[in-house]
Amino acid sequence: MDTPDIGRRRWLILALGVLAQASQATVINGVAFLIPILNQEGGFTLAQAGTLAGAPILGGVFTLVVWGAIADRFGERLALAAGLGIAAVSMGLASATTSLDLSRTTSAALLGLLLMCAGAGAVSANSASGRVVVGWFPPHQRGLAMGIRQMSVPLGVAAGALVIPTLAGDHGIAWALSFPMLACGLAAVVCAVGVVDPPRPGRVEAERAGVLGNPYRSSMSLTRIHLASILLVVPQYVVWTYALVWLIADRGWDEVGAGLVITAAQILGALGRVVTGAWSDRVGSRLGPMRLVAASVVVSMVALSVTAWTDSAIAVGVLLVASILTSAPNGLAFTAVAEIAGPFWGGRALGIQNTGQFVFAAAVGPVFGGLIAAVGFPAAFALAAIAPAAAVPVIPKD
């Protein structure tokens, strides 16, 4: 039975995990909120601006499994503090770069490289904060705890939607990039001070129990969850990347009003992750709820396409629903992966989980930017519904 000290400690560490992951989101997802100003004032095409927005995601692709392995071998605290520190320094240099008098080509290349470095460091939070939460919470609380941890991504995106466009419009891109720099710097310090690595069995004991082996060799469940999550990330990042642009360019909203809508959508999405996590604890299943939510994502993206095409008055409300549903499966998948992989493979499995998602998420910016320019927002929303429809039969049964 837990002592009060252990109970308090696990909730404190969960709070630090939320802060770390939210700070990561201001880097990975926050640059997308600069797309309008890069497109309208910076002279970049929508596809080029989308590529810059995807640079942190691309950088993270190369280091997710590495950070997971570091967390598995040396502990979550080291991985969190080091990765977020690298992200803070890189975002600071990226902010300084925008103030230099460079050619557009040179400036874009250097900015893109620094954003990749920031993403490469920030993604330490993806594996390490998820692993530390699963390690500290018992099975009957893990869905709720991981749902709370996963709500940090929408909250970080919401903070970015509220702050970054306003800073960019009022003070320029350099000030806008300083926001994720400060967030990651703060998170790195508090994680170094406050995070305690969770208890786990010794390697000799684990070897005797047979939990040191590679979980990918004994079952296809992890691989199927990874594949389904890759498919589900497509509509999620279409909404996250281009909802602000849609509101401004297609619906005629100003930057402040559109940013408030996206902030509300992300907060609702965060709450949705907590609800689905608690639901999975109650029914004793992560994958059954994930399958149902994936099916609902298909319906929401089709509805968004139809209401956007007809210029319906309820289109913004449908956007809010789509934002909630596209965010919801993430926590369920993360919890399932960590539980199946176990304490000695959890970091690497979560790294592999995010690597596939990040590869496709990085492609969403330029691919759907080109699609939107060619066929418009409604058709692009409809095409994004194909991926979750394919994910439903891929999700394994418990």
Instruction: Give residue-wise pLDDT tens across range 123-170.
Output: 999 878 877 887 888 888 888 888 888 788 778 887 888 888 888 878
**Confidence (pLDDT) at 3:** 58
**Confidence (pLDDT) at 21:** 92
CA dist., res. 26 & res. 93, Å (int): 16
**Confidence (pLDDT) at 311:** 87
Average the pLDDT over 75-87 and give the result. Answer: 94
**Confidence (pLDDT) at 295:** 95
**Confidence (pLDDT) at 297:** 95
Shared domain for 131 and 222, answered yes or no, is: no
- Among left, alpha and beta (phi > 0; psi -120 to 50; other), residue 342 is left
Number of domains in the chain: 2
1 domain residue, yes or no: no
**225 band by pLDDT with thresholds 50, 70 and 90:** very high
154 domain residue, yes or no: yes
**Confidence (pLDDT) at 87:** 96
Shared domain for 73 and 177, answered yes or no, is: yes
Shared domain for 184 and 231, answered yes or no, is: no
Q: What percent of the chain has pLDDT over 70?
A: 91
Shared domain for 133 and 251, answered yes or no, is: no
- pLDDT top residue among 7 and 222: 222
CA dist., res. 20 & res. 78, Å (int): 13
Judge whether residue 78 has pLDDT over 90. Answer: yes
- pLDDT top residue among 383 and 69: 383
Residue with tokens 């297609």, as numbered in its chain: 250
Domain boundary among 196, 227, 243: 196
CB atoms near residue 397 (< 10 Å): 9
**Confidence (pLDDT) at 142:** 84
Q: What is the pLDDT of residues 106-119, one digit of tens each?
A: 667 888 899 999 99
**Confidence (pLDDT) at 105:** 62
**383 band by pLDDT with thresholds 50, 70 and 90:** very high
How far are the Cα atoms of 2, 11, 74, 107, 136 from residue 6, in angstroms, in the given order?
Answer: 6, 9, 22, 50, 9
**Confidence (pLDDT) at 290:** 94
Shared domain for 24 and 94, answered yes or no, is: yes
Q: Which of 58-67, 171-180, 203-212 has the lowest mean pLDDT?
A: 203-212
260 domain residue, yes or no: yes
**Residues 315-323: contacts with CB within 8 Å, 24+ apart?**
315/251, 316/247, 316/251, 316/261, 319/239, 319/243, 319/246, 319/247, 319/261, 319/265, 320/261, 320/264, 320/265, 320/268, 322/235, 322/239, 322/297, 323/239, 323/240, 323/243, 323/265, 323/266, 323/268, 323/269
Average the pLDDT over 75-85 and give the result. Answer: 93
Q: What is the pLDDT of residues 313-348, one digit of tens each?
A: 899 999 999 999 998 888 889 888 888 887 777 778
Judge whether residue 103 has pLDDT over 70. Answer: no
- pLDDT top residue among 361 and 145: 145
**223 band by pLDDT with thresholds 50, 70 and 90:** very high
Domain boundary among 196, 230, 255: 196
CATH number at residue 168: 1.20.1250.20
Q: What is the mean pLDDT of the chain?
A: 85
Shared domain for 167 and 224, answered yes or no, is: no
Shared domain for 149 and 250, answered yes or no, is: no
384 domain residue, yes or no: yes
**Confidence (pLDDT) at 208:** 58
Shared domain for 57 and 129, answered yes or no, is: yes
166 domain residue, yes or no: yes
**Confidence (pLDDT) at 391:** 95
Q: What is the pLDDT of residues 288-315, one digit of tens each?
A: 999 999 999 999 999 999 999 998 889 9
CB burial readout 290-303, b (16+ within 10 A) else e: bbebbebbbebbbb
Average the pLDDT over 35-52 and give the result. Answer: 75
Q: What is the pLDDT of residues 229-282, one digit of tens each?
A: 999 999 998 988 888 889 988 888 887 788 788 888 878 888 888 899 889 989
**57 band by pLDDT with thresholds 50, 70 and 90:** confident
**Confidence (pLDDT) at 356:** 84
**365 band by pLDDT with thresholds 50, 70 and 90:** confident
Domain boundary among 196, 228, 262: 196
Domain region containing 371: 215-394
